[in-house]
Structure 1
């Protein structure tokens, strides 16, 4: 309930309570002034209770709608997670193989010396370097027929 609605609702039951408190003694129904004020107070309290009841009911509906939206989101997220988990479960051993390979690599990495790989030069060039050298060699010019 917005602040404006609270103000309008409160103004309505306050106006009705004041009208009852002032109009009953003037109507000449045999109601004295103190009894009219007491009835106005009862109308005011009753209006306040109705206002509280209505505001809480509206708040409960808003919370229920929010809970429904959150539950829908939760279902969507769980469905997406299920779609992500299902292929890995169907793959079965593939995930387990990757995990075991990662563990093995970790143990091998732990066994390496702390200084890292050695800094000495390689004696034999790599395959890539040999291929590059082959491509860079000058080609013999074809001879022209005389």
Structure 2
């Protein structure tokens, strides 16, 4: 009869057994574990390790949650690398880097003089040379009725 009463109580309450070794800290593990000093965290992990050595079915849900949080929670080594607001810092850094790269490339391109072959006189002389030597007689500058600019690119 007492066995049936225990089973009925377990079904009604949803718990089979309550671990008596749970500390008061474990009830609020999520709020307090990450704020503890490292020595206190080690003590709690040792205490939780002792709790988990017991029969897994006899450990309460709260203790299982506390063990999971202490082991895999977002604290110490598992702390998220990105904090709120870090996305804007990354975006700002990327924009600044691209702006600096653009400024450097613009300065480099503007500081170098154009090659001598890019002058209009040189390109017109290239057109004259191409016509004299009958270069590309089918569809190019030496063909009959050609109306293009030829080699002239600069203005």
Q: In which range does the TM-score fall when normalised by the shorter chain?
A: 0.3 to 0.5
Task: Identify the structure with the greater helix proportion.
Answer: 1
Greater Rg, structure 1 or structure 2? 1
- TM-score norm. by structure 1 comes to 0.36
